[in-house]
Structure 1
């Protein structure tokens, strides 16, 4: 376009010169002046066109492909990655979706004294797995592993007719199937897989009854036995009110636990009805408070027993303590479960929700109380400590076996240094006590050190 205008200007000058060859001097001078003015006007138009073309080229170089396409221009190849709207994310080329990769690499070295534990409990401190029968004394051992390392992928679309949309999938290496003979390999397992659109969430995620933001910080993967630690399939609706108040209602995957007879194994029930969970949460400058409740149904294993309804209630929270330190805080949970033992972590794997007595054909729901308190103190901006204490106690039926779990205590104290925000170097001392129905006890002491790098 610019070259055509320049050619037209030269042609106009030539024509005007030829037409004015035989004219009088005055007419020739007038025509020369008009010609000069015409050339100046054309030069101004040419400069304006050059600026406009340059601006269009610059816009095509910098605009995202989808913006260029909407503007009617052909999408240009982008020679660099565009920053996404979610922190630490980037824009997926050709879309309005932000993608983020995250996770952590964690190495744990554990030394334990006493309390022989059942298989699968060596890499985490499950107090309920401590031996109380003195089948092996001492059981001093060392274990080094990286099973807590994890990887996740998050896809976010900032706007849909229902609100923000998000997909998240995460796994770690705490699955089964590993060995220590040659490769020390461990199976990758699913932790989370969810779809979130506006107020709706579906997939595998933290139970609505749980409150991970109130967990005490421990290097031990298990954590306090009195907490609720459940990730499961669910469908949840959450509404956020003004002033930091929110409420949620969910249907979640059921998993009733039954024991048919004092010496029988604890097994799953038939699970014909989902768990119904509701919660209310208040978030403020002081921290947060949360109250939740669940109703469950444990189905009888055979025609000799009846189905039983269970329930549980919990209060959790985190309260900031600025009078002690700018980042100091206390976290806690208190839970009562009646026929819903899996909503307290310590009893989830060892205690049934319902005991059935085949002799009398009576059923009795397991009643359990569990809780913990955790204090976090920051010595400096890079150095912090956590003190955690947990207590769990079950009210056992008279026909429960003598070896049935009754009571546990868990304590942890650690020191964690973060020279950079992504890196944690820590050491932790742990102690646990288990007591059975007949009063038999077992204890274990652990010393754990960990290195964690988050990305």
Structure 2
């Protein structure tokens, strides 16, 4: 055994010597260097250098849960019984920056995804209409369950240029202190734009931005939207998304009856970008901004085959369709060419933010006001009731709808009449202690359409004959019904609320917010469509205002 052991040990030693000798003849190899992730301090906390590049990146995100209550006056209408809702939201941010000879090159990405359930401002009709979310289609889910995957931000900044999907440069306060984020005022956090910002002096900057118009178009009022069979080849409401036929009376007889009516396409097309300009000043005490916007409002031409005559049984003119050329000639006499026309809406806004550390560290106050014509998405008058609709219910089972179109096509003159609106908002954030804070906010806004266009729209129903339900009743055939109709009524709205938020550790918020909303017509009364009934076209119950309460609880973690 000893001999065998010695033999094995000797063989192993010999092999080791041979291997060492051969290895000595090979070139010496170098270990591949390992590049570790390095902290990047040039742009603040959280940035690190992407290995192999000179680009710094910061990854961050958010997880959120919300549960809410929203008042309802009816459990009989579809979707009207929902008073509770839930939200689960995730957010992922990526911020990449590289230093160049022209300054910092930045790319910022933000992806939001979530699930919302319930009704009445928990699930967002605005989100569906703007393609920012998609609804569940089940029997118990339609109108109650909504999912979203939204490219909230995706922009490049370089040498003063911002290009991509970003927040509008018109906006200022944008609900910074709120949970529900429904006070009146402009807030379009995601739009496509190309902008240039120039900084000068100490704290001053000015921006000129060309922005996507599709996120700021509130539909034109069309009193033929709900009319089925009124327009040859059209199906009324089913076609509102493609044509929204709107009548224009081209001629009347001695008795005042319509002899010829043409229908134009009231869907606004994407023709020109919105142009936004702002002047801003930032200082240690706070910020101030003045901004303005100009946008186009347009209608299409005549809907093929829709111009008709002799709508009334009396022999008031030649039978059969009115040729588009004849309709165009009648409109041209009023200075309107071919039915299609363009007007220009505009809005101005001023905002002030004041830091109030002498009350408590972190305290701040926002004041903001906006006024516009044909630019309701810029003034934010429709922020609570809803966007991308010409009229909407304030809550389920409400007595009357609030009307919010950017403009109305006057059926007698054929001209576009812009709506006017304004909003004001104040919001104050106070820290009771480093862990506890509250926000208090209040806003008010008004929208008006002018008595002439409302009267003409109602009058057109009598001239044309049977009209759609959304239009005001005729002041000739149903004067009381006309006076009490909510259609195109000037209105005002108050949205106010308060919150209490606890942050036991950094970047964790646990809070609740309550909100009160009141909507009222500017003068007179309107029919109560919830609790009243109509007898011979006259309502048995009227109101001048409506109000609703809501509350929302939130748990949110940012990192």
Superposition RMSD on alpha carbons, in Å? 2.9
Q: Does 1:192 align with 2:191?
A: no
Hey, what does 1:223 align to over in structure 2? 182
**Per-residue deviation, residues 238-281 of structure 1 (Å, max 9, x unmatched):** 01112111111111111344425335368651231111111101
**Per-residue deviation, residues 182-226 of structure 1 (Å, max 9, x unmatched):** 9x77231111110111211100111110125x6341121x33122
Match of 2:341 among 291, 301, 306: 306
Hey, what does 2:57 align to over in structure 1? 99
* Shift, 1:336, TM fit: 0.3
Hey, what does 1:81 align to over in structure 2? 37
Q: Secondary structure at the match of 1:333?
A: strand
* Shift, 1:346, TM fit: 3.6
**TM-score, structure 2 as length reference:** 0.60
| CA distance in structure 2 between the partners assigned to 1:425 and 1:307 by the alignment | 49
CA contact (8 A) 1:114 1:137 kept: no
CA contact (8 A) 1:216 1:223 kept: no
| CA distance in structure 1 between the partners assigned to 2:60 and 2:512 by the alignment | 24
Hey, what does 1:177 align to over in structure 2? 134
Hey, what does 1:432 align to over in structure 2? 517
Match of 1:447 among 540, 551, 556: 551
Q: Secondary structure at the match of 2:269?
A: coil
**Per-residue deviation, residues 131-165 of structure 1 (Å, max 9, x unmatched):** xxx96898462112214x322222111x1232101
Hey, what does 1:18 align to over in structure 2? none
CA contact (8 A) 1:310 1:340 kept: yes
| CA distance in structure 2 between the partners assigned to 1:108 and 1:321 by the alignment | 29
**Per-residue deviation, residues 348-372 of structure 1 (Å, max 9, x unmatched):** 4342222112332122111000121
Give aligned pairs, total: 362
Against the structure 1 CA distance between its residues 173 and 275, is the aligned structure 2 distance closer, same or farther, given a 3 Å change threshold? same
Match of 1:155 among 65, 83, 96: 96
Q: Secondary structure at the match of 1:146?
A: strand
Counting only pairs closer than 5 Å after superposition, residues 108-127 of structure 1 correspond to structure 2 as 108-114=66-72
Q: Does 1:367 align with 2:451?
A: no
* Shift, 1:74, TM fit: 10
| CA distance in structure 2 between the partners assigned to 1:77 and 1:349 by the alignment | 55
Which protein has the larger Cα radius of gyration, Structure 1 or Structure 2?
1
| CA distance in structure 1 between the partners assigned to 2:436 and 2:65 by the alignment | 19
Hey, what does 2:493 align to over in structure 1? 408
| CA distance in structure 1 between the partners assigned to 2:521 and 2:557 by the alignment | 39
Q: Does 1:349 align with 2:403?
A: no
Hey, what does 2:372 align to over in structure 1? 337
CA contact (8 A) 1:262 1:357 kept: no
| CA distance in structure 2 between the partners assigned to 1:218 and 1:107 by the alignment | 15
* Shift, 1:75, TM fit: 7.5
CA contact (8 A) 1:280 1:292 kept: yes
Q: Does 1:146 align with 2:84?
A: no
Against the structure 1 CA distance between its residues 230 and 310, is the aligned structure 2 distance closer, same or farther, given a 3 Å change threshold? farther
CA contact (8 A) 1:216 1:224 kept: no
Hey, what does 1:385 align to over in structure 2? 438
Match of 1:209 among 153, 165, 170: 170
- Unaligned 5+ residue runs, structure 2? 1-29, 115-131, 226-239, 245-265, 302-337, 390-403, 455-470, 472-485, 527-543
| CA distance in structure 2 between the partners assigned to 1:345 and 1:199 by the alignment | 28
- Unaligned 5+ residue runs, structure 1? 1-72, 118-133
